[in-house]
Protein backbone atom coordinates (compact mmCIF):
# COMPACT_ATOMS: atom_id res chain seq x y z
CA UNK A 1 0.00 0.00 0.00
CA UNK A 2 1.34 3.42 -0.95
CA UNK A 3 2.04 5.93 1.78
CA UNK A 4 -0.74 8.46 2.32
CA UNK A 5 -0.34 11.79 4.08
CA UNK A 6 -3.24 13.82 5.46
CA UNK A 7 -3.33 17.43 6.64
CA UNK A 8 -6.42 18.43 8.60
CA UNK A 9 -8.20 15.39 7.23
CA UNK A 10 -7.40 16.07 3.58
CA UNK A 11 -4.89 14.09 1.56
CA UNK A 12 -1.68 16.02 0.93
CA UNK A 13 -0.58 15.65 -2.66
CA UNK A 14 2.80 17.45 -2.57
CA UNK A 15 4.75 14.36 -1.57
CA UNK A 16 8.03 15.98 -2.64
CA UNK A 17 7.76 18.29 0.40
CA UNK A 18 7.18 15.58 3.01
CA UNK A 19 10.84 14.98 3.84
CA UNK A 20 11.80 18.64 4.49
CA UNK A 21 8.53 19.18 6.37
CA UNK A 22 9.29 16.31 8.73
CA UNK A 23 12.99 16.97 9.26
CA UNK A 24 13.67 20.62 8.42
CA UNK A 25 16.15 19.43 5.80
CA UNK A 26 17.06 22.44 3.71
CA UNK A 27 19.28 25.49 3.47
CA UNK A 28 18.62 29.14 2.73
CA UNK A 29 20.14 32.56 2.13
CA UNK A 30 18.55 35.92 2.88
CA UNK A 31 19.65 39.31 1.57
CA UNK A 32 18.47 42.76 0.51
CA UNK A 33 17.82 43.36 -3.19
CA UNK A 34 17.92 47.12 -3.68
CA UNK A 35 17.32 47.44 -7.41
CA UNK A 36 20.04 44.92 -8.17
CA UNK A 37 21.78 41.84 -6.81
CA UNK A 38 23.98 42.57 -3.79
CA UNK A 39 27.69 43.05 -4.42
CA UNK A 40 28.58 39.88 -2.56
CA UNK A 41 25.99 37.57 -4.13
CA UNK A 42 28.74 35.03 -4.93
CA UNK A 43 29.31 34.52 -1.20
CA UNK A 44 25.63 33.63 -0.80
CA UNK A 45 25.79 31.17 -3.68
CA UNK A 46 28.91 29.49 -2.33
CA UNK A 47 27.53 29.16 1.21
CA UNK A 48 24.20 27.83 -0.06
CA UNK A 49 25.97 25.06 -1.96
CA UNK A 50 28.26 24.35 0.99
CA UNK A 51 25.13 23.72 3.05
CA UNK A 52 23.75 21.46 0.33
CA UNK A 53 27.00 19.51 0.34
CA UNK A 54 26.91 18.98 4.11
CA UNK A 55 23.28 17.79 3.97
CA UNK A 56 23.81 15.74 0.79
CA UNK A 57 21.22 17.77 -1.12
CA UNK A 58 21.99 18.13 -4.85
CA UNK A 59 23.67 21.48 -5.44
CA UNK A 60 22.21 24.32 -7.47
CA UNK A 61 24.05 25.73 -10.48
CA UNK A 62 25.07 29.38 -10.54
CA UNK A 63 22.84 29.89 -13.58
CA UNK A 64 19.76 28.49 -11.84
CA UNK A 65 20.56 30.33 -8.61
CA UNK A 66 20.58 33.69 -10.39
CA UNK A 67 17.65 32.83 -12.65
CA UNK A 68 15.28 31.90 -9.81
CA UNK A 69 16.16 35.06 -7.89
CA UNK A 70 15.85 37.43 -10.85
CA UNK A 71 12.66 35.74 -12.03
CA UNK A 72 11.01 36.18 -8.63
CA UNK A 73 12.20 39.77 -8.29
CA UNK A 74 10.92 40.66 -11.78
CA UNK A 75 7.39 39.78 -10.67
CA UNK A 76 7.44 42.37 -7.89
CA UNK A 77 6.69 46.04 -8.42
CA UNK A 78 8.79 46.94 -5.39
CA UNK A 79 12.44 47.84 -6.01
CA UNK A 80 13.74 47.44 -2.45
CA UNK A 81 13.16 43.83 -1.45
CA UNK A 82 13.77 41.21 1.20
CA UNK A 83 14.79 38.09 -0.73
CA UNK A 84 15.09 34.57 0.64
CA UNK A 85 16.15 31.63 -1.53
CA UNK A 86 15.57 28.18 -0.03
CA UNK A 87 16.68 24.77 -1.24
CA UNK A 88 14.62 21.94 0.22
CA UNK A 89 15.53 18.28 0.00
CA UNK A 90 13.43 15.75 -1.85
CA UNK A 91 13.66 12.03 -1.22
CA UNK A 92 12.56 8.95 0.66
CA UNK A 93 10.91 9.93 3.97
CA UNK A 94 13.05 7.41 5.87
CA UNK A 95 15.42 9.91 7.49
CA UNK A 96 18.85 8.15 7.25
CA UNK A 97 18.62 7.95 3.47
CA UNK A 98 20.22 10.70 1.44
CA UNK A 99 17.89 12.94 -0.57
CA UNK A 100 17.92 12.40 -4.32
CA UNK A 101 16.49 15.74 -5.41
CA UNK A 102 15.78 19.32 -4.43
CA UNK A 103 13.16 22.03 -4.75
CA UNK A 104 13.95 25.73 -4.92
CA UNK A 105 11.76 28.35 -3.27
CA UNK A 106 12.22 32.10 -3.54
CA UNK A 107 10.35 34.49 -1.25
CA UNK A 108 10.23 38.24 -1.87
CA UNK A 109 8.56 41.01 0.09
CA UNK A 110 9.13 44.74 0.64
CA UNK A 111 12.24 45.41 2.68
CA UNK A 112 11.54 46.82 6.14
CA UNK A 113 14.40 48.37 8.12
CA UNK A 114 14.77 47.71 11.82
CA UNK A 115 13.12 50.56 13.69
CA UNK A 116 13.60 49.54 17.30
CA UNK A 117 16.72 50.16 19.38
CA UNK A 118 19.01 47.13 19.59
CA UNK A 119 19.08 45.81 23.14
CA UNK A 120 20.59 42.39 23.77
CA UNK A 121 20.37 39.93 26.65
CA UNK A 122 21.98 36.52 27.18
CA UNK A 123 20.30 33.42 25.78
CA UNK A 124 19.29 30.78 28.35
CA UNK A 125 20.09 28.17 25.70
CA UNK A 126 23.65 27.34 24.71
CA UNK A 127 25.14 25.81 21.58
CA UNK A 128 27.94 23.29 21.21
CA UNK A 129 30.85 24.41 19.06
CA UNK A 130 31.06 21.00 17.34
CA UNK A 131 27.46 21.13 16.05
CA UNK A 132 27.70 20.90 12.23
CA UNK A 133 24.41 22.78 11.77
CA UNK A 134 26.05 25.91 13.13
CA UNK A 135 28.18 26.01 9.98
CA UNK A 136 25.20 26.38 7.62
CA UNK A 137 21.97 28.34 7.32
CA UNK A 138 19.62 25.43 7.88
CA UNK A 139 15.84 25.56 7.59
CA UNK A 140 15.82 23.65 10.88
CA UNK A 141 15.51 26.93 12.77
CA UNK A 142 13.95 25.80 16.03
CA UNK A 143 16.88 26.79 18.24
CA UNK A 144 16.92 30.28 16.75
CA UNK A 145 13.15 30.58 17.18
CA UNK A 146 13.34 29.76 20.88
CA UNK A 147 16.22 32.17 21.43
CA UNK A 148 14.61 35.07 19.55
CA UNK A 149 11.27 34.40 21.25
CA UNK A 150 12.93 34.50 24.66
CA UNK A 151 14.48 37.87 23.81
CA UNK A 152 11.22 39.38 22.58
CA UNK A 153 9.22 38.09 25.54
CA UNK A 154 11.70 39.76 27.87
CA UNK A 155 11.78 43.11 26.11
CA UNK A 156 14.97 42.70 24.04
CA UNK A 157 15.74 42.62 20.34
CA UNK A 158 17.84 39.46 20.48
CA UNK A 159 20.16 37.33 22.60
CA UNK A 160 23.89 36.81 22.82
CA UNK A 161 24.41 33.05 22.52
CA UNK A 162 27.13 31.27 24.48
CA UNK A 163 28.69 27.90 23.72
CA UNK A 164 29.51 24.99 26.02
CA UNK A 165 32.60 26.82 27.30
CA UNK A 166 30.68 30.06 27.97
CA UNK A 167 32.38 31.79 25.05
CA UNK A 168 30.36 34.26 22.99
CA UNK A 169 29.22 33.00 19.58
CA UNK A 170 26.62 35.25 17.87
CA UNK A 171 22.94 36.25 18.13
CA UNK A 172 20.02 34.30 16.70
CA UNK A 173 20.37 36.04 13.34
CA UNK A 174 23.50 38.19 13.31
CA UNK A 175 27.25 38.29 13.89
CA UNK A 176 28.40 40.32 16.89
CA UNK A 177 31.44 42.61 17.11
CA UNK A 178 32.85 45.16 19.49
CA UNK A 179 35.47 47.87 19.35
CA UNK A 180 37.95 48.98 21.97
CA UNK A 181 40.38 51.62 20.80
CA UNK A 182 41.67 50.59 17.38
CA UNK A 183 40.88 46.92 17.95
CA UNK A 184 37.81 45.20 16.51
CA UNK A 185 36.87 41.92 18.18
CA UNK A 186 34.56 39.14 17.02
CA UNK A 187 34.23 35.47 18.01
CA UNK A 188 36.22 33.07 15.84
CA UNK A 189 34.41 30.47 13.75
CA UNK A 190 35.60 27.59 15.92
CA UNK A 191 33.34 28.81 18.74
CA UNK A 192 30.33 27.61 16.74
CA UNK A 193 29.84 30.72 14.63
CA UNK A 194 28.28 30.90 11.17
CA UNK A 195 30.70 32.09 8.49
CA UNK A 196 28.46 35.03 7.68
CA UNK A 197 28.53 36.96 4.42
CA UNK A 198 28.34 40.30 6.20
CA UNK A 199 31.00 39.05 8.64
CA UNK A 200 33.47 38.63 5.79
CA UNK A 201 32.69 42.12 4.51
CA UNK A 202 32.89 43.82 7.91
CA UNK A 203 36.26 42.24 8.73
CA UNK A 204 37.66 43.20 5.32
CA UNK A 205 36.46 46.78 5.70
CA UNK A 206 37.72 47.05 9.28
CA UNK A 207 41.21 46.04 8.19
CA UNK A 208 41.05 48.50 5.29
CA UNK A 209 40.20 51.27 7.77
CA UNK A 210 43.20 50.47 9.93
CA UNK A 211 41.56 48.46 12.70
CA UNK A 212 43.41 45.53 14.21
CA UNK A 213 40.96 42.65 13.82
CA UNK A 214 41.02 40.00 16.52
CA UNK A 215 39.04 36.78 16.07
CA UNK A 216 39.11 34.66 19.20
CA UNK A 217 37.38 33.20 22.23
CA UNK A 218 35.73 35.80 24.41
CA UNK A 219 33.54 35.88 27.50
CA UNK A 220 30.82 38.29 28.54
CA UNK A 221 33.40 40.12 30.63
CA UNK A 222 35.31 40.99 27.45
CA UNK A 223 32.32 42.57 25.75
CA UNK A 224 31.37 44.58 28.83
CA UNK A 225 34.58 46.58 28.43
CA UNK A 226 33.85 47.59 24.82
CA UNK A 227 33.66 51.18 23.55
CA UNK A 228 31.13 50.19 20.89
CA UNK A 229 29.12 47.04 20.14
CA UNK A 230 27.35 46.25 16.89
CA UNK A 231 25.79 43.37 14.98
CA UNK A 232 25.46 42.63 11.27
CA UNK A 233 23.74 40.41 8.75
CA UNK A 234 23.27 40.47 4.99
CA UNK A 235 19.74 41.81 5.21
CA UNK A 236 20.21 44.84 7.46
CA UNK A 237 23.93 45.51 7.29
CA UNK A 238 25.72 46.99 10.30
CA UNK A 239 23.61 48.00 13.31
CA UNK A 240 24.76 49.64 16.55
CA UNK A 241 23.82 47.97 19.83
CA UNK A 242 22.48 50.42 22.39
CA UNK A 243 22.48 48.16 25.44
CA UNK A 244 23.49 44.69 26.59
CA UNK A 245 21.96 43.05 29.65
CA UNK A 246 24.60 40.75 31.13
Walk me through the domains of the chain, giving residue ranges and CATH numbers: 6-110 (3.30.470.10), 119-245 (3.20.10.10)
DSSP string over 124-190:
SS-B-TT-GGGGS-BS--HHHHHHHHHHHHTT-SEEE-BBTTS-B---SSSEEEEEETTEEEEE-GG
Q: Given this model, what pLDDT does residue 145 score?
A: 97
Is 114:58 a contact under the CB 8 Å cutoff? no
pLDDT band at 1 (very low <50, low <70, confident <90, very high): low
Calculate mean pLDDT across residues 191-220: 95
Per-residue pLDDT, averaged over 54-73, amounts to 97
User: What is the pLDDT averaged over residues 96-100?
Assistant: 95
Share of the chain above pLDDT 90, in %: 89
- Burial level of 105, CB count in 10 A (0-12/13-18/19+)? middle
Residue 187 and residue 196 in contact, taking contact as beta carbons nearer than 8 Å: no
Q: pLDDT tens digits for 14-25? A: 888 899 999 999
- For the residues 58-84, what does the mean pLDDT come to? 96
* Per-residue pLDDT at 97 exceeds 90: yes
Long-range contacts, stretch 52-56, CB < 8 angstroms, 24+ apart:
52/27, 52/87, 52/102, 54/132, 54/135, 54/136, 55/25, 55/26, 55/27, 55/89, 55/99, 55/136, 55/138, 56/98, 56/99
**What pLDDT, in 10s, does the model give residues 103-116?**
999 999 999 999 88
Amino acid sequence: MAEKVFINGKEFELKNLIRPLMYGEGVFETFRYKGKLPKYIDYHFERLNKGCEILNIPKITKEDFLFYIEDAVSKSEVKDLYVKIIILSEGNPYFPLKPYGKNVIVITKPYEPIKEEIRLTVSPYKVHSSDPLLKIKSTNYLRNILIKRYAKENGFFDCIILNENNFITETSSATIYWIKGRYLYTPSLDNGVLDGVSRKVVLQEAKAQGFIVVEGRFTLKDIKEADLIFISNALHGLIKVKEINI
